Structure 1
Amino acid sequence: MFTIIRTIGGITRTIQADSNKNFKELGLNNNLFIYIIRVCEQPGMFLGQLADAIQIDRSTSFRTVKKLVQQGYLQVENDKDNQKIKRVYPTQKARDIYPQLHQYEKDQSDKLLDKLSSEEKEALAELLLKIAPY
């Protein structure tokens, strides 16, 4: 059964290597593009929600958001009602590249799932949800 997890890991590493190559010039290697996609799709998420959405520990997520703020892709603002909550928003720079990032994500998905029938895709989705850590 190790082969299943190893295969999932191999798929993940292949996508990461490809995305690193594609987004290097934007400074978005190591899956940083995923943060921009999630924030553009749900502007105003608080930092913990973003970490949960990406399925990464909060301290790593917070450091990554800080880096993307420094690069001009994201901005962090205090919540209007609770100053302890920090909300994350895309900058115009992030919104400008979002279509490219989203298309990349779609193309990778289509490429990976191309050989599966509709039924197989549905079955795979159900099975992955059963083992997903969230």
Structure 2
Amino acid sequence: MNNLEYETLRYVGALSRAINSTADWKYKKFDLKKGQYLFITRICENPGINFIELSNMLKVDKTTTTKAVQKLIELGYINKEQDERDKRGYKLTPTEKAWEVYNFIIQEESKQLKISFEGFSQEEKEMATELLKRMSENIEEYWHEYKNQG
């Protein structure tokens, strides 16, 4: 492993932390804590998603998802309905309140993307996106192995 690969991981981590800490600060006015906005965005983009799908999408364990969703239900952002096909499962849907916050989140994401990609050509944006997608896909199996050990 060379220094470039370590640097790449450090930059990905720094980018992620900068985006998340800025987001956590911006979304405090909606009573959202540590990364809860991620759950709202995924549920708004995938109405009817279940806990397992949501956990896998966000790369978090089911306990984290359960706690986050419960808090978002209490805050009036999410509805939890029993799945009519599988009575043991639940479907998660956004409330009107979630959709209002979602629009703010998307505006903030657009701003962060504009800043992050400043000075990039369209080709560079596409290349960066493709490379990060591949890195994410590569780590997916490792994450599943780790998740299943817990």
Hey, which bits of structure 1, 4+ residues long, moved more than 3 A? none
Structure 2 runs not aligned, ≥5 long? 141-150
Q: Among 26, 48, 56, which residue is 1:52 paired with?
A: 56
- Kindly provide the CA deviation profile for residues 25-71 of structure 1, in whole angstroms up to 9, marking residues without a partner as x: 21213121111111111111111111122222222112111111111
Partner residue in 2 for 1:69: 73
Partner residue in 2 for 1:6: 10
- Once residues 112 and 73 of structure 1 are traced to their aligned partners in structure 2, the CA distance between those partners, rounded to angstroms, is 29
SS in 2 for 1:45: coil
Matched, 1:122 2:126: yes
Q: Among 91, 98, 110, which residue is 2:95 paired with?
A: 91
SS in 2 for 1:2: helix
* TM-score normalised according to structure 1 size: 0.92
- Once residues 133 and 99 of structure 2 are traced to their aligned partners in structure 1, the CA distance between those partners, rounded to angstroms, is 30
Matched, 1:33 2:37: yes
* TM-score normalised according to structure 2 size: 0.83
The residue identity in structure 1 corresponding to 2:28 is K
Structure 1 runs not aligned, ≥5 long? none
- Once residues 28 and 128 of structure 1 are traced to their aligned partners in structure 2, the CA distance between those partners, rounded to angstroms, is 27
* Equivalent runs, 1:102-121 vs 2, <5 Å: 102-121=106-125
* TM superposition shift of 1:115: 1.9
Bigger Rg, which one:
2
- Once residues 74 and 88 of structure 1 are traced to their aligned partners in structure 2, the CA distance between those partners, rounded to angstroms, is 7
Larger displacement relative to structure 2 (90-99 or 71-80): 90-99
SS in 1 for 2:67: helix
SS in 1 for 2:87: coil
Count of aligned residue pairs for this structure pair = 134
Matched, 1:79 2:86: no
